Amino acid sequence: MLSMEKRFFDRKTVYLKAERLSGDESNAVFIKNISEHGLHVITTPPETADKFPPDTFFDLRFQLSSGETIELQCIVKWAYQNDPPDDLTSSVGMEIIDPPLRYKEFVKNLP
C-alpha cells in the first residue's frame, strides 16, 4: 500500500517567475517546485487561496533561461493561505494537463 505522502514523480526545487493566466487577466506567481506532472506555486496579494478552488483550470506561462516560453494548462489540486503576519502569500498545488515534451525535457535536465 502506498503512503499518502508518496509522490509518483520526483519534485525539484526551483524559484521561477511565472504568470497565471485566466481569461484576459495575468497575475505574477513564483514556481517553488516542479515535477513532470505538477507544480507548487506561491502567489502574492491579492491572489488569496480562495481564488484557487480545487478543480479550477488555469494556464501558467514562464520563460526558460534560453528565452523560450513554455505555457502549461493546469488544474488546481489544493490551495492554502500561508500564516500571517509573516507571510501574506498563498500556496497552490497544480497538476499539469498533458505536459509538453519541451517542459518534460526541461524538468529532466534540472540538477
Q: Are 35 and 9 in contact (CB under 8 A)?
A: yes
pTM (2 decimals)? Answer: 0.83
Regarding predicted confidence, which is higher, 98 or 9?
Answer: 98
**Per-residue confidence (pLDDT) for residue 2, from 0 to 100:** 41
Correct CATH for 12-103 of 2.60.120.1310, 2.40.10.220, 1.10.3720.10, 1.10.1070.11: 2.40.10.220
For the chain, the average pLDDT equals 86
H or E, element range at 106? helix 101-108
* Helix H or strand E segment including 107: helix 101-108
Q: Break the chain into its structural domains and give their ranges.
A: 12-103
Q: List pLDDT tens digits, range 32-75.
A: 999 999 999 998 876 777 888 999 999 999 998 889 999 999 99
Neighbour-count burial of 88, counting CB atoms closer than 10 A to its CB (0-12 exposed, 13-18 middle, 19+ buried): middle
Q: Nearest Cα to 91, choosing from 47, 27, 34, 61?
A: 47
Cβ atoms of 62 and 52 within 8 Å: the answer is no
More confident residue, 15 or 49: 15
Nearest to 93 by CA among 80, 106, 108: 80
